[in-house]
Structure 1
C-alpha cells in the first residue's frame, strides 16, 4: 500500500494514464433527473490506498503532528463519531446551504473543542491515528459544487471556497492534521455540480475543463483527502427503471471519476443521492454494469441519522453509515449535547495499537473487528452533567437528522 507522499509522486504520472470522463461530452442531467447522461469514461479497478497503523506513542500521532487543543475526558474509543454532511456555500442558510463564514467557524470550533478530521476510509480500516484527548470527525462534501473547490485564473485554489478555507486553516493550525475531507462527486451532473465545474460545460473549452478537473483530483489525492462516488448525476436510485439501470448509475459514475485518478486508487465510499436506496437494496453495496464489470462499495453513506458508531462496535454497519447534515444550528446543538453528556463521545487514547473503552461500553466491543489491536478497559468514564434545578434533562447524545441529499 502507498503512503500519502507516494501518492503525491504518482499523481502527475497518473494523469497520462487516464481516459476521458463522462462530463467531457457536454452537460449531463441535473440532480434528480431521470435520464442517463450521454458520455461516460471507464477506468480499471484498483487496490486501496491505505496506510497501516504505526507505533505512535500515547499522546502522539504517527505523523508526529502537534497535538493542538484536546479534551480532558478519559479515552472512549467505543464512543460515537460525527460524519458531517455539507453541500453548497451561499446565503441565506438552509438545510443544504452553509455560508462560507460559518463553514470556517465550524472548522475552528471543532478544532478548539478537540476534534480532528479523518476520512471514511480511515474509519473503515480502523486507522484513526489522532492525539490523545481528541475526537475524530468526518467531513463529507456532496455534489462537487463550484463553491466547494474553485481554481483562480492563475491555477491556485480560491481562498473563498471550502477547500481554500480548509487549506488556510491547516496552514495556521498544523495540529488540524492532513487531509480529512471526503469528496462525493457527480461526474456528469449539470452546473453547478458538474465535477466542481467553474462554468457551465458549454462555456469552457473541453481541454481546459478536463485539465481543471484533473488538477483538482490530483490535489485531493495528494493532500490525503478521500474520493467518494455519488452516482453518475444524482438520479434517485429508487426511481431506476430496473436493477440494471441502478447498477449503471453507480458503476458508470465510479468509472467516470476514476478516469481522473491514479489507476490503483480504490473508491470505497458511496453516498446515496437524497438518501434513497435502490429497490433492490444490496445493489448499493455491489453490482455489475457494462457487460459484467463489477463495483463494490465498502461504505454506504446515509443522509441523516446522527453520530455514527465506530468500527469496533458490534452495531457498526459500514453499509449504512449515519451522517449529520450541518444545517443552521445543528452542529452547535450536537456539540452542546456532548458537553452536557460526553458519555457517547469518541475520545482517543493516542495509541492506534490499543482500543480503550469504559466498562459501561464493554458490551458493545466487537473483538473480532480489532485486527490485532489490544482492547483496554479504562476507569473514569465521563459522567453526564447534572441538569439545572427545575430544568430539563440533557438531550440524547445522537442528534436526529432530516431527509435530504
Structure 2
C-alpha cells in the first residue's frame, strides 16, 4: 500500500460520459450535503449570542481543518512501517497530546460537515477529525474480563476524554469493512463485533463506510461503485442498525477513473444511501465546508508516516491558516483577507462577519522608460498567494 503510488492513482481520471445510474453534481448542487436534513441532528432556531471579537480570537471559520488518518497501533506480528499503517501506541498518545495542547477539538468526521455541529465548536478552538480505517483489531479490543483494553485506540481515546473533559469529547470515525471472503470480522474478535459496533454508536463515536470489499475503485463503473458503497452500509447496519453510515473512505484513496461515478459515491440514485463527503487516503489539511474550493467528493486527510504528522502540525500551528471557531452558532467569522474564498453556498447559509483589513492587491510597477531605448513590454501583475 504505497501512498506515493496511490497519489498517482488518485489523480488519474477521465471525462467519460456518465453511466446509466450516474448523474451530474454541479458546483451549485454540492450544498445538498449541508442543507438537507441529516439523521440525528435537530434543526432548531439558534438563540441570539453576544457579539464576537473575531480579531481577539483570531477566528477564521473557513480556515483549514486537519483530518488525521490512522490504521493500527502496536499490532502484534505487524512490522512498524514507514507509511504509518502501524504506529507505536506511544506515538498515538503523543499526537493526541499535541492536539490537546494546541486547542484542537476532536470531532467525528461527519460532524464537521453538519452546520449545527461545526458551529458548536468552542470559541478559539480548531476542529480536528480523527479517522481510523479498516476496523482493525488494535482499534477496539476487549480484554478477557470484558473491559476495554486501555492500550487499544478506543481505550486511549476514552482516557483522553476522561482527562480533558469537555475540551476533548468522545469522537472518532471508524471506517469499517463488513466480514466477507475479503475481510475479517470487524475489529478482529469474532463474536464481539456486534457488541463493539453498537458500543461505538451508543457512546458518541462514528461508525462509517470503507466499502464492501476494500477493492481498488479505479476501474469501476457506476454500478460497481454503487455496490461497493451500498454493500458496506447494508452489512454494517446488521451489526449496528442506528449507525449513520453517511461518510465514505475510498479504499487506498484510489478513486474511479471515470469521474462521473464520483457522484454515485455521494448519492445513490436508488435512494439507499447518501454520503456527506468522501475521503482520500493521505494528503494535507482539508478545506473547510465554507471555503468555495471545498469539494465534498474528494477531501484530504493527513497521514501519520514517520514524522509526517509532526511536520504538518508544526507548519499548521504557525501558519495562521487553521480553522478557528468564533463560538457563535449564528454567524460565520472570517478575516477580511480571506473574503475571496467564502463560498456563496455556506454551511446553513449563515451570515458572514468580516474583520481586519482586506488583502492588498499585489501588482508589479513598471520601470521608468530609458531614453533612446526600445519600449519594454508591460510587466505582468503577480497573482496573490492563496491562503
TM-score by length of 1: 0.70
Q: Give me the whole-angstrom Cα distance separating, in 2, the residues matched to 1:218 and 1:147.
A: 17
- For residue 181 of structure 1, report the CA deviation from its aligned partner: 0.6
Measure, in 1, the Cα distance between the counterparts of 2:182 and 2:96: 27
1:313-363: per-residue Cα shift (whole Å, max 9, x none)? 111111111111122111211121123322x11111111221111010011
- Name the SS for the 1:303 alignment partner: coil
Whether 1:89 and 2:67 are equivalent positions in the alignment is no
CA distance in 1, matches of 2:187, 2:50: 39
Q: Give the 3-state SS of the residue equivalent to 1:140 in structure 2.
A: strand
Equivalent residues in 2 for 1:332-371, closer than 5 Å = 332-342=310-320, 344-371=321-348
Q: How many pairs were matched up? A: 316
Is it true that 1:131 corresponds to 2:122 in the alignment? Answer: yes
Q: Equivalents in 2 of 1:107, 1:337: separation in Å? A: 17
Give the distance between the partners of 1:55 and 1:97, measured in 2 at CA.
45
Partners of 1:125 and 1:287 in 2: CA distance: 18
1:275 to 253, 258, 263: 253
Moved more, 160-169 or 178-187: 178-187
What residue is the counterpart of 1:378 in the other structure?
A: 355
* Structure 2 residue 176 is matched with structure 1 residue 185: yes
For 2:95, the equivalent position in structure 1 comes to 106
Show the counterpart of 1:33.
none
**TM-fit CA distance, 1:135:** 0.4
Cross-structure match for 1:261: 240
The answer for the alignment partner of 1:142 in structure 2 is: 133
Q: Which residue of 1 aligns with 2:106?
A: 117
Aligned to 1:174: 165
**8 Å Cα contact 2:107/2:128 also seen in 1:** yes
For structure 2, list consecutive stretches of 5 or more residues without a partner in the other structure: 1-36, 360-384
TM-score for the superposition, normalised by structure 2: 0.73
Task: Kindly indicate which of the two structures has a greater share of residues assigned to strand.
Answer: 1
Deviates more, 1:292-301 or 1:82-91: 292-301
Quick check: 2:182–2:213 contact (8 Å CA) kept in 1? no
Match status 1:309 vs 2:298: no
Gaps of 5+ in 1: 1-45, 61-70, 199-203, 383-395, 399-405
Pick aligned residue for 2:194 from 214, 221, 224: 214
SS in 2 for 1:363: helix
Is 1:76 matched with 2:60? yes
Deviations 1:24-58 (A, max 9, x none): xxxxxxxxxxxxxxxxxxxxxx9622344754957
Where in structure 1 do 4 or more consecutive aligned residues deviate above 4 Å? 51-60, 189-193, 290-293
What CA RMSD, in Å, does the superposition of the two structures yield over aligned residues?
3.3
Partner of 1:228: 208
* Residue of structure 2 in register with 1:154 after alignment: 145
* Cα distance in 2 between the residues matched to 1:101 and 1:186: 26
Partner of 2:306 in structure 1? 328
